Chains A and B, each alone.
Chain A
Amino acid sequence: MNGAGIIKGMIETARNLAGSYHDKERLTTVQYPEETLPPVENARTIPFLVYDGGDAAAGLRCTACTICEKECPPQCIYIVKDMAKKPDYLGKMQLHPKVFDIDIAVCMSCGICVEVCPFDAIKMDQVFELSTDDRFGGLLWGIKQLAKPNEYFQKLHRTEASEIDARREQDRRKTQAAAAAKAAVPAPAANLPPPANKGAAA
């Protein structure tokens, strides 16, 4: 009969109307500011700097090699090296950044800085509520805002962080073993590959 489809459709929408009031399952809307979806591990927004231990100034993994600064397509990273060297996790003396700024208004979230970093020092964050009323200073993030502990990284990207931690632990063991061997038998120098290459392979 003509119009049967129309009646069928009308019944369907009427059922939606009644159903959406008693069956909350039907409403798929997430009412954002009040409720949010649980974060997804693969979500990536802007970069942040990882540090080990409790002190951001001491534990920053970044060695101010400026590879990310050079690779960044929109050139939103600005680094000033601090020439005073500090030992890294293997005990090797490394430079570190005096200034590490990311203009997050310019950052295009490509993640190339993360790919090129040989020290696992820069990783992608998941923050997205970044709006501010100060579009210059408020969007230019320095070390203070960018540095976040390794535990935070663990929380965001569990798989990747665990993998990196395991590798770094292994490197440290190897270095310690080599140092012990060197102390015991001074003759053959430990021809370990530098840890930097390993980091780049990731």
Chain B
Amino acid sequence: MSRLDQIFVLTGHWLAGWAPAALRPLASAVLAIACIMAVFATCFALTTLAERKLLGRMQNRFGPNRVGPCGLFQPVADGVKMLIKEDIVPFSADKTLHFLAPIVLTVPIWLAFAVLPFGRNMTAIDLDGGILFFFAIGSASELAVFMAGWSSQNKYSVVGAMRAIAQMISYEVPLVLSTVPVLMLAGSLSLNDIVAAQGTYAFGWLARWNVFTPWGLAGLFLFLIAATAESNRSPFDLPEGESEIIAGYLTEYSGFKYALFFLGEYVGLFAGAGLGVTLFLGGWHAPVKGLEWAPSWLWFGVKFAALIFLFIWARATLPRLRLDQLLNFAWRFMVPLSLVNLLVAAAWYWTGAWPFGGAAPIRWVLCAGLFIFPYHWLGRALRGPLPPPRKYSYAE
């Protein structure tokens, strides 16, 4: 069991062992980078295919099924297409920024994976402030998006970039706030510690994942919504709203630069999903006692895939928001709710010390109620008063 669980760690050590002693840390770092990039680039290819397949099926279509068996080689065809397309740079574009933007977007997003624990002992860098690093790095994508929009010298690009900035900054706040309860209750900023805090079992069988608490469940959904908005995915894909502004800040990009943006977007989504798994879904821990025989990285992968599926599912279902709806939703609903969630987490923490029997259900009801009432009333307030019944002057 432990051999299989540690197979990547042991292989890594074995491979790094070939290097001279002085170069060993460097070798293992390079190995980790290569593995992360290989795995998540493959994930990217598979996700684009799975997304198109699932979107199709959810809309009663086939999805891509021409290239290879069941369309399995579609990502290869897409990649080849992207590579051999002409790379057009607009005449009046700011050439340097136009060139740099996809790189500035992609590089930090890959860096974010450095602190994610993919399995037992499988964290590339165990930073004490891992989650701070994650968010600090993640916010660099805003800069890249604006670089792309500004340098293109295109109105649609600038409009898309402005929308993206407004959206990303607005949703950064609930994204970070929704993770604060986890940090509070784990008492650490290190993602490894957060995972370790979720590793014990309640009632002797159910894992103590944060998602199995009222604040954790609410926090997971707040986090997922904010992560969707952060990665500019439908229903928050205003920056790229095809029907309104062509492709937003991507309008003037083609060929491999466009592919890089695409990659950055998906890898950003993966980073978000990975963080969601780590913070709320117990990282690489098994859900119930007795399932620990499966390797830890497999558990991470399963949860990760489940979250990705959730993102795809939401994309297939929900229509795009309007900009004012989007910003109102962030500032008047998501931010207050994530603050309320802090209170709920605090209440959960204090009631955890209740000594009497039967405290658990009371605790649950209390904390759930603390969240649901603000949820209901904030939603009401967001919707505003219903408009008066429409009067028709001429029609009868």
Closest to A5 in B: B318
Q: Would you give the 0/1 interface string for B47-62, flagging 1 where the beta carbon is closer than 8 Å to chain A?
A: 0000000100111111
Bound-state CA distance A3–B235 (Å) is 14
A12 to B376, alpha carbons, bound, how many Å?
Answer: 24
Chain B interface size, under 10 / 10 to 19 / 20 to 34 / 35 or more:
10 to 19
Question: Does B316 interact with chain A (Cβ within 8 Å)?
Answer: yes
CA distance A125 to B22 in the complex (A): 79
Cβ B318 vs Cβ A16 within 8 A: no
Q: Is the CB of B60 within 8 A of A9?
A: no
The interface size of chain A toward B, counting residues with CB under 8 Å, comes to: 19
Within 8 A of B (CB), among A18-37: 19-21, 26-29, 31
Question: B62 contacts which of A3, A9, A19, A29 (Cβ < 8 Å)?
Answer: A29
A27 touches B317 (CB 8 A): no
State whether A27 and B313 are in contact (beta carbons under 8 Å apart), knowing that A9-B318, A17-B57 are contacts in the complex.
no
Q: Say yes or no: A10 contacts B313, CB within 8 Å.
A: yes
B313 touches A20 (CB 8 A): no
How many whole Å from B45's CB to the nearest CB in chain A? 21
Closest to B375 in A: A2
Q: Is B140 an interface residue (CB 8 A)?
A: no
Which A residues are CB-close (under 8 A) to B313? 10, 13-14
B393, chain A: closest CB distance, angstroms: 32
In the complex, whether A84 has a CB less than 8 A from a CB of chain B is: no
Check: A1 CB closer than 8 A to any chain B CB: yes
Partner of B59, one of A1, A10, A16, A21: A16
Q: Which residue of A lies closest to B379 (CB)?
A: A2
Q: How far apart sit A5 and B191, CA to CA, in the bound complex (Å)? A: 35
| Chain B residues touching A, majority SS | helix
For the complex formed, measure the closest distance between the CB of B316 and the CB atoms of chain A, giving whole angstroms: 5
For the residues of A in contact with B, the DSSP-based class is helix
- A6 touches B (CB below 8 Å): yes
Query: Is B72 close to A, CB under 8 A?
Result: no
Q: Is the CB of A28 within 8 A of B60?
A: yes
Of all chain B residues, the one with the shortest Cβ separation from A18 is B57
CA distance A197 to B313 in the complex (A): 66
List, in ascending order, chain B residues with CB within 8 A of A19's CB: 60
Partner of B317, one of A2, A3, A12, A26: A12
A6 and B317 contact, Cβ closer than 8 Å, known pairs A17-B54, A20-B60, A27-B60? yes
A20 and B57 within 8 A (CB): yes
Which residue of the partner chain B has the closest CB to A27? B60
Q: Interface centre among A10, A13, A14, by most B CB within 10 Å?
A: A13
Residues of A within 8 A of B59 (CB): 13, 16
The answer to whether the Cβ of B83 comes within 8 Å of any Cβ in the partner chain is no
Docked Cα-Cα span, A12 to B313, in Å, equals: 11
A115 to chain B, nearest CB (A): 40
Closest B residue to A2 by CB, please name it: B379
B314 at the A/B interface (Cβ < 8 Å)?
A: yes
Contact A26 B314 (CB under 8 A): no
Contacts known (A9-B318, A10-B313); A26 close to B379, Cβ less than 8 A: no
How far apart are the CA atoms of A1 and B373 in the complex, in Å? Answer: 11
Closest CB in chain B relative to A6 CB, distance in Å: 7
**A interface footprint on B351-383 (CB within 8 Å = 1, 0 otherwise):** 000000000000000000000000110011000
Q: Are A16 and B57 in contact (CB under 8 A)?
A: yes
- Closest residue on chain A to residue B316 by CB atoms: A13
Closest to B372 in A: A1
Taking a contact as CB atoms under 8 Å apart, the answer to whether B317 and A10 are in contact is yes
Provide the residues of chain B in CB contact with A27, threshold 8 Å. Answer: 60-62
Q: A13-B316, A14-B313 are in contact. Are A26 and B60 (CB under 8 A)?
A: yes
Most A C-beta atoms less than 10 A away, residue of B57, B318, B380: B57
A2 touches B58 (CB 8 A): no
Complex Cα distance, B66 from A29, in Å, reads: 14
Q: Is the CB of B58 within 8 A of A13?
A: yes
A156 and B225 alpha carbons, distance in the complex (Å): 56
Contact with A along B248-280 (1 / 0, CB 8 A): 000000000000000000000000000000000
In the docked arrangement, what's the CA distance between A17 and B53, Å? 10
A110 to B376 CA separation, bound complex (whole angstroms): 61
The answer for the CA separation of A9 and B379 in the assembled complex, in Å, is: 18
Q: Pick the residue among A2, A3, A12, A21 that contacts B57 (CB under 8 A).
A: A21
Q: Are A13 and B317 neighbours in the complex by a CB distance under 8 Å?
A: yes
Q: Are B60 and A6 in contact (CB under 8 A)?
A: no
Chain A residue with the shortest CB-CB distance to B59: A16
> How many angstroms between the C-alpha atoms of A19 and B57 in the bound complex?
9
A16/B376 contact (C-beta < 8 A), A9-B317, A10-B313 known: no
Task: Report chain B residues within 8 Å CB of A16.
Answer: 57-60
Q: Say yes or no: A10 contacts B314, CB within 8 Å.
A: yes
Q: Are A1 and B376 in contact (CB under 8 A)?
A: yes
**Bound CA–CA A87/B172 (angstroms):** 87
The CA-CA distance from A34 to B289 in the complex, in Å, is 51
Among all A-B residue pairs, the 9 with the closest Cβ atoms: A2-B379, A13-B58, A9-B317, A13-B317, A26-B60, A20-B57, A17-B57, A17-B58, A13-B316
Known: A2-B376, A29-B62. 5 other contacts (CB 8 A): A1-B376, A9-B317, A19-B60, A20-B60, A28-B60
Chosen A-B contacts, 14 in total, with CB atoms closer than 8 Å, are A2-B375, A2-B379, A3-B379, A9-B317, A9-B318, A10-B313, A16-B58, A16-B60, A17-B57, A17-B58, A20-B60, A20-B61, A27-B60, A27-B61
